Amino acid sequence: MSSEMPVIDPGNHPRPGPTIAIAITGASGAIYATRTLAALLARGTHVEVVVSDYGRRLLRDELGEGASVDRLMSFLEEKYGAEVSAGRLTLHSNRDLGATIASGSHGCRGMAIVPCSMKTLAGVAHGLSRNLVERAADVMLKERRALVIVPRETPMSLPQLRNMVLCAEAGAMILPAMPAFYQMPRTLDDLADFMAGKILSALGFDHELYPPWTGQVPS
């Protein structure tokens, strides 16, 4: 029996949008992952999601039981609105190395690992492909597709910094979870909007999740 989890398809998709892979691992920052998922789904994207074991714990610990993987779509709809039903979400087991996103023949346009743990970073940097997150990331690199790595750790050790350099040299974009403040954020959701917007931009999507810099701080 395949370990791939069933597709969650909340709506009709006569013209399916692009396919993007999102991986959630055990670094802090679950809100960045859910905001990115919601923004992609609202744009009609087919999002293929894989969550590591510690990523599953992260969702529950930081966002509550309602955000657990088996309730994820309901959580997104409740928090971000019905517009997330414009997209399609597929959940894969991290142990399923036979999943679609494990192959370069699958038409996945890009991938973001958000948040990215230092363990996952090391696995991607050294091409270990021990699980679906690492294998899918390796596919993005070998196929020269967008791979966005969102590390969340501080301070960083020299091995961690070197692993980031290895990933960047292989073609990944290192996009640390460092929200800006020029847009005068007032809530945690404002900070999540900024990071999700940065990730969408890196994956080639237009968005209005935060105001562009104009040279003037908003009054």
Res 211 pLDDT > 80: yes
Regarding pTM above 0.85, the answer is: yes
DSSP state of 107: -
Amino acid at site 45: T
> What is the helix (H) or strand (E) element at residue 62, kind and residue range?
helix 53-63
What pLDDT, on the 0 to 100 scale, is given for residue 215?
86
pLDDT band with cut points at 50, 70 and 90 for residue 2: very low
Confidence category of residue 3, pLDDT binned at 50, 70, 90: very low
The pLDDT of residue 103 is 98
Helix (H) or strand (E) holding 61: helix 53-63
Is 154 buried (19+), middle (13-18) or exposed (0-12) by CB count in 10 A? exposed
Asked if the 7-202 domain carries CATH number 2.60.120.10, the reply is: no
Please name which of 206, 208, 205, 160 lies closest in space to residue 22, comparing C-alpha atoms.
Answer: 205
pLDDT tier at 1, thresholds 50, 70, 90: very low
E-strand stretches of the chain: 7-8, 19-24, 46-51, 88-92, 108-116, 146-151, 173-174
The answer for 127, left when phi > 0, alpha when psi is -120 to 50, beta otherwise, is left
